[in-house]
Amino acid sequence: MPGRVARVSDVQHALSPELDKDIIAPPGEERQIPISTSFSQRGIRSHILLAACEAKEFAWETGGRGAFTTALLEALIAIGADKVTYSGIIQRLPSLPK
């Protein structure tokens, strides 16, 4: 596809162990950023990861815009984010080239 490029991030250095210090509190201390009460006791079951690719794949973009993000936003706007489930939105996404 003309104009299509892979978006790649090559991390050349180790991430700091302090990276999340502003959002994760040490044991016995309160978090810096409050959690909505509807998510506070659900752990990872309350989150869904939507990603353009897997670890060994590429995310593609055209004109500086990610193909997956563009398709996702178009579908959410067309359907209404409050009227669709995660599963439903994935089913409605067009097939994107790899």
pTM metric for this prediction: 0.59
Alpha helices in 1-98, H assignment, sequence order? 67-79, 86-92
Quick count: other Cβ atoms within 10 Å of Cβ 88? 11
Tokens of 14: 């180790």
> In this structure, what token pair is assigned to residue 25?
């509190």
Contact 4, 61 (CB under 8 A): yes
* pLDDT 10s digits, 31-79: 555 555 665 555 556 667 888 888 788 888 888 889 999 999 999 999 9
CB 31 within 8 A of CB 23: yes
